[in-house]
Structure 1
Amino acid sequence: MTAAPGEAGLRRILAVVDLLIDAVDEETLLPALLPSLLRTVPGDSLVWSVRPYLPGEPVVSLPRDLLSPRELAAFAAHRARDPLVAHTTVGSGVPMRRSDLQTRAETRRLGAYAEVYRPIGAEYQLAMAFPAGRGPRGRRSVCCVVNRSARDFDDADLAAAALLRSRLSHALTRLSTEPDPPTAPRGAGDGITPREAAVLDLLARGLTDRQISHRLGVSPRTVDKHLEHAYPKLGAHGRVEAATRWLHRRPPP
């Protein structure tokens, strides 16, 4: 039987969940999310990669710049023969330890071990992958790998990762998926984002923050943040004025 996270582990999981619920966009989410993930599934470093990979995009890691250009090139050359990479690319992507797939001797024979894993202290690894909505190239996924140098991951670490995986997928899908075009404001010069437009549409129909949050699958705090960002763009100073101005600016149904 897989061990469940203890009380402290559950508190760290809930801290990650709170971040995901309140997230407005990925750009501001990741700097807070990655350290929180590394506390929840403790390790020496973490790599967060979006697939399909877009040339020129930096690899996101903690610590920053964990992988040099030379190590990234070596990883690309050897990844096809790495069973953990295969698991997160064409396998189920559920949280998996490298030690569940290979012995230590087999790991050390990998081409990527000498050129990538050993230099960055990734003697032990726990990896998972999950759907993350749509990007410039269509459907995308995220692979998250936690590395350790001194000891392997235990069943509680695996359980914590499993509890977070579906929540990470849901949050990243929500942040990457824009509302249908009719919710977008008329005119491109006002700076209203599609997500702000969706909130304003529901506000103009008389819904409360809690009702809007339930309809859009976000927290009331996130709804409030969207409104705070939208007020100056509309030249409004409160909910009533914002709703009134939005009613006169949104496209007809």
Structure 2
Amino acid sequence: MVRIRENQVQQLLRAIRETGQNPSGDVREQLIAIVAKLVPSDIIAFQAIDPATGRSEQLADPDSWETAEFEQAFSRHLPEHPLLRYFLRTGDGDSVRTSDVVSRRELRRLGIYQDFYRPLGIHHQMACLLTSDLGVMNILVFNRGLPDFTHAERQLLLLARPYLANLLATSEAHYWFDSALAALDAIDDTSYGVILLGPLAKVRIMNRSARLLLDTYFRRSGREGDTLPDDLASWLAAQRRASIVERSEPGRPYRVSRGSRHLTVSAFDHHTSTALLLSETDSAAPPAITDAGLTSRERDVLWLVANGRTSAQAAHVLRISSRTVEKHLEHIYAKLGATSRTEASLRVFGTRAPHWSIRNSTGVRASETSAEGE
């Protein structure tokens, strides 16, 4: 039996520590590179799997085998995967081999072996569960033809697992923070909805404006811990596929309309983390408002105060704070060269504001909510 050598453990810990101190690129690729030197394998893969939906993504080295046919076969047979079933049944994420949980005869009966692993020449696997985030399991998988993984190799992965998991969690937090900063840096006066996504495009967190916009424009709106609305999720998946091919080309925004109002969604990717920025415009706004360059939210604020709403009442209708309303009014005054809400209203609407089609973020006409707060 091959024994774990002290220099193997030291080499592993040193590589993990150096990667954590000098993060660069995709940490999943770095994890694969670290363990590849210590546990020889034909294919090493980092897999993100959502057992609840059956969705999965993987990054493998080498990846020359990845085809649509193999990906479909893997997805089709994923629920019967012996190691995934073991992790779900036991809740134990420590390193385990297929030979530890099923016999060779049982393995050969499985569709995932016949349609996926056998054609690739893979007869043995070893895996460990690194982290679980929003119901998505991040698993490191070692694949080999012959021979089976040794007890010593399993023990080495067992020792490495907490350090690898910590490196992954720390890096994911860094990516998440970077994507959030990118979204915040891109916010202008027309953008007020922010969604931060976790693995497999599941919603990690969103602000109130983003939640209301999703409710307005989609039949099924997303919630924290849930997936995005189907149309939005399909667009994001297409953007990611295109980025792999084009690489340097920026993704195209997603656009959808409801009457005269238009929603634009832009994505900011940082490896496995993504932030979405949502902005809304209204093509039915009066020419004076359009010429002044007022944003969608500024137009809403001006229309409400022009019709006699206080800042508190306008904030209630638009589901924002009174302080935010006052900030919007400051921007409106600067753009119109006005010094008060009355002067701003007169410059845009004349003596009285007409009831042009304004909707608040709940999709309800502002005139229908005029009694609120009064």
Name the residue aligned to 1:164: 160
Within 5 Å, give how 1:2-13 maps onto structure 2.
5-13=4-12
After superposition, the CA RMSD in angstroms is 3.4
Offset of residue 24 of structure 1 = 3.0
- Larger relative contact order (C-alpha < 8 A, sep ≥ 6)? 1
Question: In structure 2, do the counterparts of structure 1 residues 6 and 155 end up closer, same or farther at CA, with 3 Å as the change threshold?
Answer: same
Distance in 2 of aligned mates of 1:120 and 1:179: 33
Within 5 Å, give how 1:169-248 maps onto structure 2.
169-177=165-173, 188-189=184-185
Q: Which has the higher strand share?
A: 2
Name the residue aligned to 1:113: 113
Per-residue deviation, residues 151-181 of structure 1 (Å, max 9, x unmatched): 0111110111111111111122122236999
SS, match of residue 40 in structure 1 = coil
Per-residue deviation, residues 205-228 of structure 1 (Å, max 9, x unmatched): xxxxxxxxxxxxxxxxxxxxxxxx
Question: In structure 2, do the counterparts of structure 1 residues 154 and 87 end up closer, same or farther at CA, with 3 Å as the change threshold?
Answer: same
| Native 8 Å contact 1:49 1:60 kept in 2 | yes
Structure 1 runs of 4+ aligned residues shifted over 4 Å read 53-58, 178-181
| 1:41 aligned onto 2:39 | yes
Amino acid at match of 1:88: F
| Native 8 Å contact 2:97 2:127 kept in 1 | yes
Offset of residue 82 of structure 1 = 2.6
2:149 to 153, 169, 187: 153
Question: In structure 2, do the counterparts of structure 1 residues 20 and 166 end up closer, same or farther at CA, with 3 Å as the change threshold?
Answer: farther
Name the residue aligned to 2:85: 86
Distance in 1 of aligned mates of 2:48 and 2:3: 28
Question: In structure 2, do the counterparts of structure 1 residues 180 and 143 end up closer, same or farther at CA, with 3 Å as the change threshold?
Answer: closer
Higher CA-based Rg = 2
**TM-score where L is the length of structure 1:** 0.61
Amino acid at match of 1:152: D
Question: In structure 2, do the counterparts of structure 1 residues 79 and 171 end up closer, same or farther at CA, with 3 Å as the change threshold?
Answer: same
Distance in 1 of aligned mates of 2:48 and 2:113: 22
Offset of residue 17 of structure 1 = 1.9
**TM-score where L is the length of structure 2:** 0.42
Name the residue aligned to 2:103: 103
Amino acid at match of 2:106: E
Contiguous gaps of at least 5 residues in structure 2 = 187-374
Name the residue aligned to 2:71: 72
Distance in 2 of aligned mates of 1:140 and 1:20: 24
| Native 8 Å contact 1:3 1:159 kept in 2 | no
| Native 8 Å contact 2:46 2:60 kept in 1 | yes
| Native 8 Å contact 1:93 1:128 kept in 2 | yes
Amino acid at match of 1:128: C
Question: In structure 2, do the counterparts of structure 1 residues 89 and 121 end up closer, same or farther at CA, with 3 Å as the change threshold?
Answer: farther
Distance in 2 of aligned mates of 1:174 and 1:32: 13
Amino acid at match of 1:70: E
Distance in 2 of aligned mates of 1:20 and 1:89: 30
SS, match of residue 157 in structure 1 = helix
Question: In structure 2, do the counterparts of structure 1 residues 73 and 118 end up closer, same or farther at CA, with 3 Å as the change threshold?
Answer: same
Distance in 2 of aligned mates of 1:98 and 1:14: 26
Which segment is superposed worse, 109-118 or 47-56?
47-56
Per-residue deviation, residues 56-78 of structure 1 (Å, max 9, x unmatched): 98520010243322112112222
Question: In structure 2, do the counterparts of structure 1 residues 179 and 166 end up closer, same or farther at CA, with 3 Å as the change threshold?
Answer: same
Name the residue aligned to 2:312: none
Aligned residues: 182
Name the residue aligned to 1:18: 17
| Native 8 Å contact 1:34 1:62 kept in 2 | yes
Amino acid at match of 2:126: L
| Native 8 Å contact 1:15 1:36 kept in 2 | no
